[in-house]
Amino acid sequence: MNNINHSWERFTVRERLSRTIVYVISVITFVWSLKTVEIIPEFLYDAPEQMADLFTRMWPIDFAFYPIKVHDALIETVNIATLGTLTAILMSIPLAIMSASNIVKNPISHWVARFFLVSSRSVNSLIWALFFVAIFGPGVIAGVLAIGFRSIGFIGKLLGEALEEVNMGSVEALRSTGTSWPIIMIKAYWPQVKPAFVSIILFRWDINVRESAVLGMVGAGGIGVVINDSLNLFEWQRVSISLLTIFVLVILAEILVVSIRKRLI
């Protein structure tokens, strides 16, 4: 009875082959990149010393600078983030609906929506900002649109996925009563995606606050403008007060988001 030669392999031959290929390719890519990247070794060895020097110049923090420029820029940053997120919501809702295969059955609209969503995500908000500054000139409009266009992809994709996970039972029920399509959206889909929707919005707003802080580097308004100016004038201590402000802002935004989440869920 025990003449059967048992063998056990953790992975099938094919699985092992594919895993090995991935490992090998990763290692090759890493080594090749290391060899071809242009780094001046002296700069690498110098690095810790240079960074220490930088930090000495950034200390002590110039708190007096805050009320002059930083405070207003801070408010402007938050406003950019908020308005940008709101704009994105407006534009992403139709795209999300189009990308949800259970709502719109047409595969063409599905791919068109996906195309817009992916493109929006692939372009950094900073690059969008460059673009909009070139069109609308430096200022807040460029910032709001940059944040907005970047967020469409994020919100649209997650919202589309949430819509696809909806329980179709309640939708069917309403359809069988002959209700019109917009009302079905409001009464059957919306209640089910509302928690996910709120979560997505809060998450994106949090990220957008961080992004808005740097858009000013290319002229799109907010605290980034202040940082850019201080950098160009080598006023390191003003740079550090701006950085500190951003840090505090990010923490406050996270606290706000967490407490809203706790209250709603």
Partner 1 sequence: MKIAAKSPLIIKDLTHAYTSGSLVLKGINITVNSPEIIAIIGPSGTGKSTLLRCINRLVEATSGEIIIDDINFCKSKGILFKKQRRRLGMIFQEYNLVERLTVIENILSGRLGYMTFWKAARRKFSQKDIDQAFDLLDFVGLTEHSKKRADKLSGGQRQRVGIARAIMQDPKILLADEPTSSLDPKTSVEIMELISHFSREKKIPVLINLHDVNLAKRFADRIIGMSEGHIIFDGKPNDLTDDSLKQIYGGESWLK
Partner 2 sequence: MVKVNQNRSNPFPKKLSTTLIWLVFITYLVYLINSFGLEWTRFVDGLSYANTLIERMMPPNFSRWELLLDGLWESIEISVIASSLGIFLSLFFGLFAARNLMPIYVSAPVRVFIALCRSFHPIIIAILFVKSVGFGALAGILTLIVASIGFIAKLFAESIEEISSKQIEAIKSTGASFGSIIIFSVLPQVFSRFIGFSTYQFDSNLRNSTMIGIVGAGGLGGTLFSAFQRFDYDFVAAILITIVSVILFWEFLSNVIRRIFT
What does the binding site for partner 2 look like in residue numbers (CB under 8 A)? 15, 18-19, 22, 26, 29-30, 33-34, 36-40, 43-44, 46-47, 50-51, 53-54, 79, 82-83, 86, 118-119, 122-124, 126-127, 130, 134-137, 140-141, 144, 210-211, 213-214, 217-218, 227, 231, 243, 246-247, 250-251
Which residue lies nearer to partner 1 by CB, 3 or 177?
Answer: 3
CB of 3 to partner 2, least distance (A): 29
* Rounded CA separation 262/74 (Å): 26
Among 10, 14, 35, 105, binds partner 1 (CB under 8 A): 10
State the binding partner of 46 from partner 1, partner 2, none, CB within 5 to 8 A by kind: partner 2
State the binding partner of 26 from partner 1, partner 2, none, CB within 5 to 8 A by kind: partner 2
Which residue lies nearer to partner 1 by CB, 10 or 263?
Answer: 10
Q: Name the residue among 263, 248, 259 with its Cα closest to residue 209.
A: 248
Strand stretches in the chain, DSSP E: none
Give the number of other Cβ atoms within 10 Å of residue 84's Cβ.
28
Q: Which stretch binds partner 1 (CB under 8 A): 3-11, 20-28, 49-57, 117-125?
A: 3-11
Are 215 and 224 in contact by the 8 Å Cβ rule? The answer is yes
Tokens of 176: 């069988």
* Rounded CA separation 15/34 (Å): 29
Which residue lies nearer to partner 1 by CB, 9 or 49?
Answer: 9
**Sequence-distant contacts of 255-258: CB under 8 A, at least 24 apart:** 257/202, 257/203, 257/205, 257/206
CB of 9 to partner 1, least distance (A): 9
State the binding partner of 141 from partner 2, partner 1, none, CB within 5 to 8 A by kind: partner 2
* Residue 56 binds partner 1, judged by CB under 8 A: no
Tokens of 133: 């500054």
Tokens of 256: 């706000």
Which residue lies nearer to partner 1 by CB, 23 or 32?
Answer: 23
CB of 65 to partner 1, least distance (A): 52
Query: How many residues contact partner 1, by CB under 8 A?
Result: 5
What are the phi and psi torsion angles at 181 (to 5°)? -60, -45
* Rounded CA separation 49/43 (Å): 10
Rg, the chain, Cα only: 25
Q: Which residues bind partner 1 (CB under 8 A)?
A: 2, 6-8, 10
